[in-house]
Structure 1
Amino acid sequence: MSEIADFLRARYAEQRALALAASPGPWQPNDEHDEVIAVDGITVAEGFALSGQQLRATVDHIAAHDPAAVLADLDAKLAIVDWHGAREATGFDADGWEHTGNACQTCLAGDDWPCRTLRLLARPFAKHPDHKGEEWAP
């Protein structure tokens, strides 16, 4: 496909490995909102170093980004990356994968490449050594 799509797939694979290695989700705050508890009852994180509202907000933030949520987010982002590699007409790529249906018109036309959507998806990884900097800036 494209260098930026391959870059995104590699970053998402790294994030997926981290999520799969973590305590199982869903995570949730305990009743006091000072700890994050995994589905198996194990404490994932403690907010003891914080106080008051910041503690509760931090614990809630960690719980909202449990492995199950991260995996769902990665699946959605991968679907976007794959959609950008689709073709209008039915056909097969070099790996034998069939592509049908709609695709990003910007990508199909070859205008403004890489597509702004893919450049936006790459933005969180701007400090990664393989990121192309200004070339991939949105």
Structure 2
Amino acid sequence: MSDIADFLRARYAEQRALALAASPGPWHSDGGSVYATHPTDEVVNYTESADHIAAHDPSAVLADLDAKLAIVDEHPAATGWDGREIDGNVCRTCSETSQDGELAGDVYPCRTLRLLAQPFAGHANHKGEEWAP
């Protein structure tokens, strides 16, 4: 692999394949057992579902969340020129500092944060099109 982007794409492809092979659920827990409810009587391959569940054990999920939170922390809001209004909110990381020391660039929230919010698009507090990538 030539760079970190290729490495990440390969890992994400592996995770995606596991998720696609698993039962789509919906999944439920009854205090010790995990099971899938299906609208039909189709036979489910629980081995592939178990592989997906095992790949997302708590330590893997916590490491993923820590990494995503670090990305969020790397993209704070700042006052600057967003190309539309003076003293708008821009992303400090995605913007550039001009010769006079002013920030100019991506509107806040930047595309990076909007992409991270995409999996939560169905959440009641998600701002829909305003946060769409």
Larger Rg: 2
- TM-score with structure 1 length normalisation? 0.47
Larger helix percent:
1
Relative to its length, the structure with more strand (as a share) is 2
TM-score, normalization by structure 2: 0.49
Higher relative contact order (CA 8 A, sep 6+): 1
